[in-house]
Amino acid sequence: ANDGYKLWLQYLPFENKAVADYYRDYLENITLIGESPTHGVIRKELEIAIDSFLEGKTKSNISSKNINSGLIWIAGTVDLPQNIKASLAERIKEIKEEGYLIKYFQGKIFVTANSDIGLLYGTFALLKNIQTRKSLEDLDILENPKIQLRLLNHWDNLNRTVERGYAGFSIWNWHRLPGHIDQQYIDYARANASIGINGTSVTNVNANALVLTPEYLEKAAALADVFRPYGIKIYLTARFNAPMMLDSLPTADPLDPLVQAWWMKKAKEIYSYIPDFGGFLVKADSEGQPGPHNYGRTQADGANTLADAVKPFGGIVMWRAFVYNEKTPTDRIKQAYDEFKPLDGKFRDNVIVQVKNGPLDFQPREPFHPLFGAMPNTPLMMEFQITKEYLGQETHWVNLSTSWKEILQSDTYAKGHGSTVSKVLDGSLHNYQLTGMAGVSNIGTDRNWTGHHTGQADWYAFGKLAWNPESNIDGITEDWLKMTFTLDPSFVNAAKKIALNSYETLVNYMTPLGLHHIMARSHHWGPGPWVTGGGRDDWTATYYHKASKDSIGFDRTEKGSNAIGQYAQEWNTVWGNPETIPMEYLLWFHRIPWNKKLSTGNTLWDEMALRYQKGVEGARWMQKEWTKLEGKIDQERFDHISSFLNIQVKEAEWWRDACLLYFGQFSKMALPAGVENPK
């Protein structure tokens, strides 16, 4: 049995004697030089791993001195023996702050780095190579992260509910902190460090100012102490009107000297509890949150006031671009660009603007956000959503790295062909001095952390892509499967195929052809294309699909809202024309008559119906393929995933039936051959 708590750090026992003998030689002869808390963590991780790989048959004996006998050497560059250091000098020069080198050399494996954290990352990388049973004599790996800030964002409330969380309650037990340190905090830090995550914002973006009071800062400091040896900094969400809420200031105007002084003092106080506090994450002027607009100020005014406060202590501000207002009549997806683009270059150098992957809100599929490539003088970071708010929530198996990769590879054309979103994020395109990627966490108190076992893969892949957005997702998925379940290639290959097909399948049964925001109201689970009214157009489905008896879709071309005008000319040309736009974005940008013949040869209605059907068939295929894998992994996780796949198939049918019945009232066309009649 396996409840999945150990994530990808299962350290699966060696499958036979030959494999065990091969690695045992190395694992019994490790030299680890250094004494920092991070070295303590490295030693502990090695012990856990060795104990598990060799099923407790070897007591690990990690030496901190025995210089000559070590077959695996884990030591900072300064601690390497002189002759080794001299021989590897060229490679060592390439190692940056958090990077590492793993090199097989003269019969030994050297793991080395310039920092303790680099050494920890290198150790996890070595363990990964053993977990995936790589030959150690080939090791020659030099890795440096491409992105500086690699963060999880928890939308966790102080009462332990999790906004858009589907895996239980918040793992942060504020009530027991700081007195009790739960083992889960430590395992959380291990898991994150193993994939290179170096920061976490632990509270909801819809922020409660209370977290900035001494009572909570003491608790947050206890978490920071746990995370520190793992190279993880803590960040907090700052409620913009905290000066009013906590200290009854008459205003939160960011240009008011009293307000500025308040933030300065608050920052000083926070740093007295947490000397390496990372900084603030802020949602302002959006969905009811207070912000600089309340005082006629700009987003830059707001961000800069907070940035000035944390600057003396080395802190940063991540200011979210998810700003929109129902009172602004402009197409909602245009508002962030309209607001932020004119502020390019107006932010302090310790501000980074955090932009969602697409211009709406974590839909199953959106084109990339037009701000990417449009702010050369203000660093932008990515915000992906790991939790599956609009993607069926935790019971659907959807491999999110497929969709993230699509966004990361999108070409902004900001500096001509090849100006991908990845290159915006890694800073190379605009020479950003701050770079980052955040993922809205999908974890909670569920025994397996993420509800669906495969939700762990999304957490894992997020870390890997934050480290290097160019990473190959086929490899990421395969490694994750091997480390999490089994090395049996018949399982790994089949499960990988299911995973890599899952994203397109979900898009087909939920929002094919560029449809968006047609989920049920407020909780966003299940179909709701009929949702209308309710006081706020931009939270309704009909605002987005605009189905009528003739057509469907949102005209965002020049003749419509001209959201398309926020993209490069190259995209205007391709996306602006319904004949050349990729089908995936058709109804995102265009209004199309139901009976229009598409390039596929089908009418729009037939194409839509066939795609919904294909989505359902895709879900059934996933289920069928999964069934064949019974016996290849433990029954507990096999059954868990099976039952979720049953739910997924049912909900895929529900989506298809609901959407086709609803839209059919407008098209009044018959279902094409091959599409099942709604039940």
- Return residues touching ligand GCU (CB under 6 A): 163-164, 205-206, 283, 287, 322, 361, 389
Strand order in the sheet with 72-74: 30-32, 72-74, 108-112, 100-105, 140-143
Q: Measured from the CB atom, is 146 or 517 closer to ligand GCU?
A: 517
Instruction: Check: CB of residue 435 under 8 Å from CB of residue 467.
Output: no
Q: Measured from the CB atom, is 92 or 438 closer to ligand GCU?
A: 438
d(CA 187, CA 201) in angstroms, rounded, equals: 17
269 in catalytic set: no
Q: Measured from the CB atom, is 389 or 394 closer to ligand GCU?
A: 389
Active-site hit among 187, 287, 537, 584:
287
Question: What separation in angstroms does the CA of 668 have from each of 64, 300, 602?
Answer: 76, 50, 16
In one-letter notation, the amino acid at residue 186 is: I
Q: Measured from the CB atom, is 50 or 205 closer to ligand GCU?
A: 205
Shortest separation between residue 432's beta carbon and ligand GCU, angstroms: 23
Shortest separation between residue 288's beta carbon and ligand GCU, angstroms: 9
As a residue count, the chain comes to 679
What end-to-end distance do the CA atoms of the chain give, in Å? 38
d(CA 644, CA 395) in angstroms, rounded, equals: 5
Burial 168-182 (b: 16+ CB within 10 A, else e): bbbbbbbeebeeeee
Q: Measured from the CB atom, is 45 or 361 closer to ligand GCU?
A: 361
Shortest separation between residue 327's beta carbon and ligand GCU, angstroms: 17
Instruction: Check: CB of residue 395 under 8 Å from CB of residue 362.
Output: no
The beta-strand segments (E) located in 493-600 are: 551-552, 592-593
Is residue 458 within a helix (H) or strand (E), and if so which, with residue range? helix 455-467
Shortest separation between residue 380's beta carbon and ligand GCU, angstroms: 16
Angle between helical axes of 183-194 and 116-131 (0-180°, round to 10): 80
In one-letter notation, the amino acid at residue 136 is: L
d(CA 145, CA 365) in angstroms, rounded, equals: 27
287 in catalytic set: yes
Instruction: Extract the tokens encoding 412.
Output: 């902004």
d(CA 329, CA 335) in angstroms, rounded, equals: 10
Q: Measured from the CB atom, is 206 or 562 closer to ligand GCU?
A: 206
Active-site hit among 116, 361, 651, 653:
361
Shortest separation between residue 667's beta carbon and ligand GCU, angstroms: 30
Q: Measured from the CB atom, is 330 or 577 closer to ligand GCU?
A: 330
Shortest separation between residue 427's beta carbon and ligand GCU, angstroms: 24
Shortest separation between residue 220's beta carbon and ligand GCU, angstroms: 21
Instruction: Check: CB of residue 679 under 8 Å from CB of residue 657.
Output: yes
Q: Measured from the CB atom, is 49 or 380 closer to ligand GCU?
A: 380
Active-site hit among 331, 389, 394, 426:
389
Pairing of strands 100-105, 108-112: antiparallel
d(CA 200, CA 152) in angstroms, rounded, equals: 5
Shortest separation between residue 666's beta carbon and ligand GCU, angstroms: 27
Sign of CA dihedral 623, 628, 631, 632: negative
Phi-psi region of 577 (alpha: psi -120 to 50; beta: other; left: phi over 0): beta
651 in catalytic set: no
Q: Which residues are catalytic?
A: 287, 361, 389
